[in-house]
Amino acid sequence: MATLPRTSGQLGALSMQPGALPNSVRRKKTKPSKPKQEKIEEKLVEENQSKAVAMTLTTMRAGLQRAYLDGLEFIRNKISDTETEVTKTRLSFYSCNETDEDSFLQYLKECNDHFLMANNELRRKNIKLEVIDSEMRIVTLLNHLREAAEFDKGEIAFITGFWENIKHTVESFHSLVDKFQTNVLNRLNQNCTSYNNADISLEVSNRYTEEISGYIAELERELTNMRLLMKTYDSGIHQDLFSQNSKFAEKVLVSCDLKAFPILRLAPDLAEKMENVCAIARKWLDRDEQYMYEVNNYIKETRNIAKKREEDLKNQKEKQKKIEKAVKTASILLHNNKEKLQKIESELNSLEGQLNGFKQEKKCKHTEKAQKSSMADFLSITMTQTRKNYNLQMKRQRLVKQVRELEEFLIGLERELSNVEDELMVKSQERILINEKVETSVKTYDTLKTDFEKYSDNLEKLEQEVNILSGQLLQLEIIQTYKTSPENVEQIFDRPQTVKLAPSLKEKIKRKRKGLPVTES
């Protein structure tokens, strides 16, 4: 091979101009190539853009959450307005200026006394008494009083006033229930929900849904009972719909004859039910706000966990590749050793065949030699006992020559046989060694393959976990986006909706997470 003269390199180094750097130094100094620098710069730009987008999204999200909280406060104010109306209706019914249970009881006791006096008057006139449990019974009582009483002692005027009072109170509560349905309950049903996809199970959403399901059931029960009580006020109220375990009702029971005049409990019970409805609605509202904070915390926690799991998955995949490479190497080694073993087995079979052939040939030649030696000896004896016979002599000489040739052949055959036996011994030793290598290779391969399969199973589980976490994170972000979206928040307030509903909030979130541009409709 042609080589450059030794002086050529020295001349190249020594003939540099003053101040110039050697090629090796220049190469070392300019090692980072331009494309690599551009890639680094592009990566930095992308990271900065990602950070900027993240900060922008965080700012936007904070603003949206503020609007969402304002929406909840708006609903709270509607509940407060309802509670104020309940207080006004109650005070109007009891003709009081401030909330005082003693004054309320005093009014009901006064009503009870007038009803008792009216019944006494009817009893004196032998008029059948009826349980006062409806507007119809009040009207009937008043008609009987007008017919039976010689003059009004105040009962007719008082009971007429009570009739108008309870009638106005029932109408007020009827209006309150309708307004509560429109102003509060519809908004709660529309905006204060989990927004969770049934396909993805989220503990935070399941817990929230379970709790508000209880609130919804309580609200439906209380409002249904109120509507039934108000509906049956005309013909006969359903006393089984009155609230149980009411402390005020227990006081009323002590002061009034509720068996005879159950109508006295209607207004207090409606007021209690309406207050309870407002309290439940507040719980629902507070739970929804708590749910929003929980979702935010879950997003942070899930994002951190998902990031760690993704990093683990990346590292595990790299390890899996190394293990897979080791398995392939072990498989190749095992295959090669098996081929070597198979080759040696074939060679051993061939040598054993040769050995058996040589032994058989040796046996045949020994037999032939023995026969010819015997014949030569026999001819020698015969020749001594008879006259010299040229033919016998020639025949004996040929036999003796053949015996010598057989002896020489057998000597050569013994050498061949010895060589084959030696080679057979060597190959047998090689087979033992290769067999040990094959056994070791099999164990190594089986161990590596088992480890690889276990590792792959664990990797698959980790990948599933990452996918589940990614799905949960996406679903949490969808919940957050839906609950704080301008479209939904706008529906809470008493003003026209000005923001159009996005075609697919879920698609927007997916595109944002992938760093893709989001088209605004």
Q: Per residue in 204-245, pLDDT tens? A: 999 999 999 999 999 999 999 999 999 999 999 999 999 988
Q: Is 147 exposed, middle or buried (CB count within 10 Å of its CB: 0-12, 13-18, 19+)?
A: exposed
Q: State whether 149 and 272 are in the same domain.
A: yes
Number of domains in the chain: 2
CB neighbour list of residue 47: distance below 8 Å, 6 or more residues apart: none
Examine the fold and report which residue of 262, 278, 310 is the final residue of a domain before the chain moves on. Answer: 310
Residue whose pair of structure tokens reads 């180094």 in the numeric block: 13
For residue 3, what pLDDT band results from cuts at 50, 70 and 90? very low
- Tell me if 20 is assigned to some domain: no
| pLDDT value of residue 2 | 41
Q: Tens digits of per-residue pLDDT, 102-128?
A: 999 999 999 999 999 999 989 988 889
- Tell me if 378 is assigned to some domain: yes
- Tell me if 116 is assigned to some domain: yes
CB neighbour list of residue 431: distance below 8 Å, 6 or more residues apart: 341, 344, 345, 348
| pLDDT value of residue 139 | 95
**Over residues 11-27, mean pLDDT:** 39
Does 197 have pLDDT greater than 70? yes
Q: State whether 174 and 305 are in the same domain.
A: yes
Query: Biggest alpha carbon distance in the chain?
Result: 194
**Over residues 170-178, mean pLDDT:** 97
Q: State whether 250 and 122 are in the same domain.
A: yes
Examine the fold and report which residue of 290, 310, 330 is the final residue of a domain before the chain moves on. Answer: 310
Of 215-224, 418-427, 471-480, which has the strongest mean pLDDT?
215-224
CB neighbour list of residue 75: distance below 8 Å, 6 or more residues apart: 184, 187, 188, 191, 192, 281, 285, 492
Q: At what angle do helices 101-124 and 34-94 cross, to 10 degrees?
A: 40
Which structure tokens are listed for 163? Answer: 């009739």
Question: How far is 348 from 340, CA to CA, in rounded Å?
Answer: 12
| pLDDT value of residue 362 | 76
Q: State whether 424 and 282 are in the same domain.
A: no
| pLDDT value of residue 300 | 92
The boundaries of the domain holding residue 458 are 315-487
Q: State whether 306 and 399 are in the same domain.
A: no
Q: Is 79 exposed, middle or buried (CB count within 10 Å of its CB: 0-12, 13-18, 19+)?
A: buried
Q: State whether 258 and 384 are in the same domain.
A: no
Question: How far is 467 from 201, CA to CA, in rounded Å?
Answer: 13
- Tell me if 42 is assigned to some domain: no
E strands, 250-387, where? none
Closest CA to 314 of 178, 496, 184, 466: 466
Closest CA to 91 of 78, 105, 104: 104
Q: State whether 305 and 381 are in the same domain.
A: no
E strands, 288-425, where? none
Q: State whether 205 and 286 are in the same domain.
A: yes
Q: Which amino acid is present at 373?
A: S
Q: State whether 300 and 330 are in the same domain.
A: no
For residue 462, what pLDDT band results from cuts at 50, 70 and 90? confident
For residue 413, what pLDDT band results from cuts at 50, 70 and 90? confident
- Tell me if 320 is assigned to some domain: yes
% of the chain beyond a pLDDT of 70 = 80
- Tell me if 499 is assigned to some domain: no
% of the chain beyond a pLDDT of 90 = 39
Examine the fold and report which residue of 310, 340, 375 is the final residue of a domain before the chain moves on. Answer: 310
In this structure, what CATH number is given to the domain that contains residue 352?
Answer: 1.10.287
Q: Tens digits of per-residue pLDDT, 241-273?
A: 999 888 998 999 899 999 999 999 999 999 999
Out of 85-94, 133-142, 334-343, which region has the weakest mean confidence (pLDDT)? 334-343
Which structure tokens are listed for 31? Answer: 């090692």
**Over residues 448-464, mean pLDDT:** 88
Q: Which residue has the higher pLDDT, 481 or 140?
A: 140
- Tell me if 208 is assigned to some domain: yes
Q: Tens digits of per-residue pLDDT, 489-506?
A: 777 887 654 444 444 555
- Tell me if 91 is assigned to some domain: yes
Q: State whether 329 and 279 are in the same domain.
A: no
Q: State whether 260 and 366 are in the same domain.
A: no
Question: How far is 296 from 291, CA to CA, in rounded Å?
Answer: 9
Q: State whether 85 and 146 are in the same domain.
A: yes
| pLDDT value of residue 169 | 97
| pLDDT value of residue 23 | 42
